Amino acid sequence: MNFIASQRASSFVPDDFYLRRVSHFARLNVGRGDIVMLGDSLINGCEWHELLERPCVKNRGINGDTVEGVRQRVEGIMQGCPAKLFLMVGINDVSHNIAAQDVACSIIALVEYLHRLSPCTQVYVHSLLPFNAAIHYASLSGKEEVVLQINHLLSEAAEEFDYTYINLYPHFSTSAGVLDAEYSNDGLHLSGSGYALWARLLQPYMCE
């Protein structure tokens, strides 16, 4: 598969919250040695520097963000050449009806862009998490297979495109393939127990 050629961006219209957060990030520094958590509401919703017990961890998540949204705002973040960057984005693209291959390819193109902006930064790409559309998120209904396909493509491309794939999915999924209610109260976003599990799964990558 030609990962770069087949990307198709989700349409992206930033709201007031998004623009405020971008303007906040523009006044915060990222430097060498820092660890950037980049992505959508799943990143936004966590006090990462506390949970990972590292003051150098910077939260650069924005609720509702898409692959295209991240791409448009990432240049300022990468200017500081952070040591590591952990990416979690794509579920909002799925919710906007973008096909699995298009989401995966735009994520991979984003990683290529990150490498160009800051070749010294180690890039980690999270799998998408399972969800439970029955609780709140009708826009994700029937798209369980799309998430599995995206994760498969992201896993397959990791070596070629020089990133580490972090497969969170099986740790958060029930045997029925939905987000375990232990980790979420709305079928999509994570509660304290969900973030605690995520942080435990990240520990091996923190000290690499």
Q: Which of 141, 167, 185, 203 binds its own copies (CB under 8 A)?
A: 185
Least distance between its own copies and beta carbon 49 (Å): 6
- Asked if residue 193 binds its own copies (CB under 8 A), the reply is yes
User: Would you say 38 and 70 are in contact if contact means Cβ atoms under 8 Å apart?
Assistant: yes
Positions in 15-34 near its own copies (CB under 8 A): 16-17, 19-29
How many residues in the shown chain lie near its own copies by CB under 8 A? 33
**Contacting residue, 112, 156, 162, 186, with its own copies by CB under 8 A:** 186
Q: Supply φ then ψ for residue 120, to 5 degrees.
A: -80, -10
Q: How far is the CB of 18 from its own copies (least distance, A)?
A: 10
- Over the range 182-202, which residues count as b (16 or more CB within 10 Å of their CB) and which as e? ebbeebbbbeeebbebbbeeb
Select from 46-54, 82-90, 106-114, 124-132 the region that touches its own copies (CB under 8 A): 46-54
Choosing from 58, 73, 126, 143, the residue that interacts with its own copies (CB under 8 A) is: 58
Q: Residue 196, interface with its own copies (CB under 8 A)?
A: yes
Per CB under 8 A, contacts with its own copies among 117-176 are 136
Length of the chain: 208
| Segment contacting its own copies by CB under 8 A, of 114-122, 157-165, 171-179, 188-196 | 188-196
Determine, following the binding rule CB under 8 A, whether residue 50 of this chain makes contact with its own copies: yes
| Stretch of 11-19, 71-79, 112-120, 163-171 contacting its own copies, by CB under 8 A | 11-19
Give the binding site for its own copies (CB under 8 A).
16-17, 19-29, 45-47, 49-51, 55, 58-59, 136, 184-186, 189-193, 195-196
